[in-house]
Amino acid sequence: MDREMEEKQRIRSVVAREKATYRLEKTDRLIRRDWGLFPETRQRWLDEGWDGDLSVFKYDPSPYFPRSLVDLVGIDVPVAPHFPVTIIREDEGYTYQQTSAGAIEKFPRGKRRNTEAMPQFWRNPVMSRDDWMHRIKPRLDPDTPERWQNLYLADTVAAAVRQGLALYEGSAIGAYMYLRALLGPEAVLYAFYDDPDLIHDMMRTWLNLIKTCLLRIQARVPFFRVLFGEDIAYKTSLLISPAMIEQFLTPYYVDLLQALRNNQKEPPWFEIDSDGNMNEFLPIYIKLGFNSFRPFEIAAQNDLVALGRQYPDIVMSGGIDKRVLGESHAAIDEYLNRIMPFFQKRGGYIPTCDHAVPSSVPYGLYLYYRQQITAMDTCG
C-alpha cells in the first residue's frame, strides 16, 4: 500500500471513530484532540523547549473539512459586509478598536483580540432602534454576496464526504449569543421587558439568516453536526431565566432544528458550545433538540461524571480542568483516574481541556497529561 492510500485509510478510520462516538457506539478508543492554545501558551512552551511540533501530543487529525462554506459563527454578530476593523482612539491605559461586527471594544494597551486578555465592550453594535434598523439589520441579509465566497468548495466537500474522507460541520452563532452580541448582556435583559417587539424582530432576522444559509449548504453537502456558539451561562447559573428562553429563543430554535432535521436522510447532530455552569441549561437545551455539548468548565461547578450519568444519551466534549493541568503530575493523575474509567465504559465523550489551554500550564505538565491520557483512553 502506497503512502497516499495509507493516509486515506488513516483518515477514514478517524472519520469512522467520530461517527461511532456521536452515535454512542463502542469504539476502540476515545478521540484524541484538544480545544486549542492561547498565543501566550504557545510562546511559553516555545520558551520552555517545545519545537512547535503538535505531533508530540498525539492528536488525531481532524475529520472535519477545514473551511466553512459560509461564515455564521463566532462571538460577533455575523454581519456582511464587515465593518472596517480600526483603532478608534487610545488613552493611557486602553486601546479602543472597532470590530468587524461594528462594536467598539477596549483592551489594555499592548493586548489584542483572541488572547488571554478579555476585551470590554465600550459600545455594542446596537445602541438604539435606529442602529438596528439602519446599521445592522441590512447586513444580516442571507443573500449578501460576501457571505458566499467559499461556496465554490461545496462540490469538493461533498466528494470528500461521499468517500469517507471528511465530515462537514455547519456552524452558527447561537440565539442568545447573537442577542448578547447585538445589545450587550445587560441591555438585552432590559429589552426583554421594555421592547419585546424589537427582540422578536432580531430573532426573526436571525432565523431567516441562519436557516436560509444552512439549508442552502445542506442542499449540496450533508451536515454531520451543526455547532452553535451559545455562551448563555456563567459560573453558577444561566445568564437569562428559563422563562426568557421559552419566550424569546425556543420558537426560533424549534423552527430551525426541525428544518435541518427534515432536510437530510440521516439527521445531523446539534451541538452547543457554552461556557459556564451547565446544570440548569442542559435539560432546557436537550428538550429543544440538542444532543451534544461542550466544554463543561470545571471551575463553573460542572461535575463531569455526574452529568455523564444523569444524561447518558448526550455527546460530551471537554471537562479536563485547565487548573489541574497547571498543578503537578500527581494532580493530573488523580483527576484522570477519577473521570476516565467512567467514560471509557460510557463512551460518547471527547476529552479536551475545558477551554483553550492557558499560559499558566507549563509545557512539561501538558506533555505529561497528553502521555497519560493517551495511555488510558482505550474503551472497555
The CATH number of the domain where 221 resides is what?
Answer: 3.20.20.210
Q: Closest by alpha carbon to 263, among 218, 210, 304, 311?
A: 218
Same-domain pairing of 276 and 311:
yes
Residue 228 lies in a domain: yes
Same-domain pairing of 36 and 63:
yes
Question: What is the reported pLDDT for 33?
Answer: 96
Residue 112 has pLDDT above 70, yes or no: no
Separation between Cα atoms, residue 267 and residue 143, nearest integer Å? 25
Same-domain pairing of 118 and 133:
no
Residue 350 lies in a domain: yes
* pTM across the whole model: 0.95
For cell 432536510, name the residue.
Answer: 263
For cell 461535575, name the residue.
Answer: 303
Same-domain pairing of 278 and 307:
yes
C-alpha cell at 203: 430573532
Mean pLDDT, residues 155-181 = 97
Residue 300 lies in a domain: yes
Angle, CA of 216, 253 and 234, to the nearest 5°: 120
| Overall domain count for the chain | 2
Residue 317 has pLDDT above 70, yes or no: yes
C-beta of residue 221 within 8 angstroms of C-beta of residue 69:
yes
The pLDDT > 90 percentage for the chain reads 89
pLDDT tens by residue, 350-379: 999 999 999 999 999 999 999 999 999 988
Same-domain pairing of 177 and 293:
yes
Same-domain pairing of 152 and 221:
yes
Mean pLDDT, residues 293-315 = 97
Neighbours of 98 (CB within 10 A): 18
Question: What is the reported pLDDT for 116?
Answer: 62
Residue 117 pLDDT class (50, 70, 90 cuts): low
Residue 340 has pLDDT above 70, yes or no: yes
pLDDT tens by residue, 227-272: 999 999 999 999 999 999 999 999 999 999 999 999 999 999 999 9
Residue 380 lies in a domain: no
Q: What is the mean pLDDT of the chain?
A: 95
Q: In Å, what is the CA distance from 50 to each residue of 53, 317, 320, 326, 366?
A: 7, 26, 22, 16, 11
Same-domain pairing of 327 and 367:
yes
Residue at a domain's end among 102, 124, 146: 124
Same-domain pairing of 216 and 273:
yes
Same-domain pairing of 116 and 176:
no
For cell 465566497, name the residue.
Answer: 149
- The residue range of the domain holding 112 is 83-124
Same-domain pairing of 189 and 217:
yes
Question: What is the reported pLDDT for 119?
Answer: 73
Cis peptide leading into residue 119 (ω within 30°): no
Residue 202 has pLDDT above 70, yes or no: yes
Separation between Cα atoms, residue 362 and residue 374, nearest integer Å? 19
Residue 110 has pLDDT above 90, yes or no: no
Residue at a domain's end among 95, 124, 153: 124
Residues with Cβ within 8 Å of residue 257, at least 6 apart in sequence: 270, 288, 289, 290
* DSSP per-residue codes, 244-284: HIIIIIHHHHHHHHHHHHTTSSSPPEEEEE--S--TTHHHH
Residue 380 has pLDDT above 70, yes or no: no
Residue 210 lies in a domain: yes
Residue 283 lies in a domain: yes
Same-domain pairing of 152 and 268:
yes
Residues with Cβ within 8 Å of residue 360, at least 6 apart in sequence: 322, 323, 326
Same-domain pairing of 118 and 89:
yes
C-alpha cell at 60: 488525531
Residue 114 pLDDT class (50, 70, 90 cuts): low
The pLDDT > 70 percentage for the chain reads 98
Question: What is the reported pLDDT for 300?
Answer: 96
C-alpha cell at 34: 484538544
